[in-house]
Structures are given as structure tokens and as C-alpha cells.
Structure 1
């Protein structure tokens, strides 16, 4: 299992796709520091459009906005998930691991650990890449009350939301062995998870099915609780489903 994890990281860091993804992340965060907006790579936006910013972020704004910029991170993590998990499943390279004594459960757990590490790495990198140029260009900014605690809560829940999306994407990969199915599945899932709150607006938990968390939501303890419960439930359900599907796959 450890060798599988090491091999995945070695292959990932040597792939062009990884460095292209990191370059895109850098450009997006730099856009925030210079013009105050990053745009959306591939997402269903359920929030109303706001006025286009005319000023770049300062350091504190960069941390707040980068920690809340879930849609872009999800898309970039999906690309990396395809590089780590998709390559093995589509090319049936997992046979090499299974034939040398690695169980399917160990293989699944190894891949899940690598994907979780990638999600955490992308989240922290986005904060660092956003904060440094924003501070250099526009200053440190004013730290609001309770900033450190609220930022840590935002990062933690954003990380859980990323893991939830990756569990959905992993399940799609285990079922379909198709890159196209992954991106179509992500778009369809985004739409389906956003629809219940439009149909039943009075049910409090439904808006959190969108699996997004922003810094401003830390002001509401209910938002924190529901985001935690929903994301954890999605992680458990789709990981268990993905493992079940993988165990039944024939070599």
C-alpha cells in the first residue's frame, strides 16, 4: 500500500498535467491579486452575479477569497484525480498492483489517501499563492475580528467539500472508467445537488448539498453544522459505493 502511494506521487509530480494544473492555479490566484476576480473554470453558479471588481485583493482578502473559491479547486482536483486514479482504471494498470499481493481494499485506500493529499495540497497552495502576491501588490489589509478561527473553519470545511466532490468523481471513475463520464458527471451532479433547494426552499439542509463553503458562512453555526454533516455523508456514501463497485470489477 505504501509503495502504491509513493508510486502515485512520483508519477504525479513527473507528469506535465500536474504542472499545467498548478500553473492554472497560480494564474487564477494572481488574477485575484491584480483585478480582484478569478472567474469560474467549470461550475454551476447558484449565487447571483455581483458587480465586477475594479481593485485587486489585499493579503487578508486573498486568504478569505481563496479559502472560499471552491468551484475552481474542485475542477483542478478533478483533473488531478484523473491523472492519479483515472490512468490506472482506464489503462487497467491496477492489475499490476493486485497481482503482486495488494488487495483491492488496500489499493482503494491508497488512492483515497493520495486524492485527499492532493485536495489538501491544492487548498493550501491556493492560499499561499493568493496571499503572497496580493500582500506585495496591495498590502496586508485589515484583519477582522475572529479572523484566524473563522479562516481555519473555512479551510477545514472547504477541505471536506473537496473530499466529497472527489468521492463522487472517484465513484464515477470506478463505475465508468471514462474521463468524459467524469466531467459530464460533475456537471450533472452540480445541477442535481442544486435543484432540491430550488424546489423545496424551506428545508434548511438542502442548500448545503451544493458542497460549497465560504468564509462568510462561518457567522452562522447552522451553516457550519449542516456543511459538515452533508459533506461527511457524501464522503462515506460514495466511498463505500466506489469500493463496492471496485471489489466486483473483474480483472
Structure 2
């Protein structure tokens, strides 16, 4: 296919996205553009328009998937997915978080936007998906880690605590703030999360959970 023919096809598909009311057509068109439209701003804008305007959830899921195929590190795509973490129905939030983790690892704009979202909302499900996303895209980023620590204290949600444990597992040296947060989890969480912490501590070379907790308490004592 010539470049001219490919561009004609892309223009035709973009026009379909902007004008069609048929969800089957929208989904099929989005799938095609997920192969053809890499880094094309017109394609990205048209897909974002569908995400923000469609009332059909399965159509939104397909479009989000296509955006993740062509929008790596694109701030407009990242912002659109973060919007979905905060406003969409739960299945869509999950899909947005999964695809955000594919396209924004280490992206500072994504990390900063997620941190801001965590700070301005008290909604538990939003906190869950912020924690899920930061765990994967923030990794050793200091601000991301601090936000996860804040979420531990803000929430008693077991899922959030487990996500934070996963995030801390692969960090290098733990600072006092992380240690304090782990103590807080230990004192407030249920058996399953305590068991997960125990396994993590053993992975890091501590022979028993009780001995590590004693060490944490000792480190945390005021001088």
C-alpha cells in the first residue's frame, strides 16, 4: 500500500469515527486505526473524542485499547486514561489503568497527574486505581512512593495496602517513611495482607516476620 493510499484510508476511518453512531462500526474502525494510526494526531484526537462521548462501555474499551497501541508517552492519551480512572464505571477504570501501565512507564506527566488526582479526590475506587497505576509506572520515583505512603494512611482498603506492598517489594533501601507505613499496615490490616508482608520480608532476607517487626519498632523509636 502506498503512503498516499494509507493516508486516504486513515482519513476515511477518522471521518467514520467522528460521524458514525453505530457502535459496531466504531469498534471496528478503532481496531483498524490501532494498527494504522501510530503517532498520528488526527487519529489520536478522534479516538479520544469517542472515549469521552460514547455511552456504550464496550465501545469505550475497544477505543482505549487502540489508544494504547498508538499513544505511548502521548500526554493527551495519558490524560484521557487518567480521566477515566476518576469518572468512568469500574470495568472501564480497570481497563484504563491496565492500558495506562502499558504506555506510561516512567512518564513524569503521568506520574504527576496521578499524584494530583490522589490529592484532590477522596473516592476509594479512584484511590485504588491510582495506586494500581503508580505501582507500575512510578516504580522508584520518590514522589510516586510518597503518594503510595499517603494512600496507606488515608485508606483502610486491603486492596490498596496490597498494591503498596507490591510497590515497595522491588525498591532498594527502605527509608523511615516506608518503614512507618509498613508498621501502620501491620497494625491495621487483615490476615491475608499480613501474610503477604511476611512473604515479602522473607524475600528480602529477613528470617522471620516477628524479628523484622521488632527491628521496625526499634528503628521507629524516638531518639
So what's the TM-score if we normalise by structure 1?
0.27
TM-score by length of 2: 0.29
Q: For CA contacts below 8 A with separation 6 or more, give which structure has more relative contact order.
A: 1
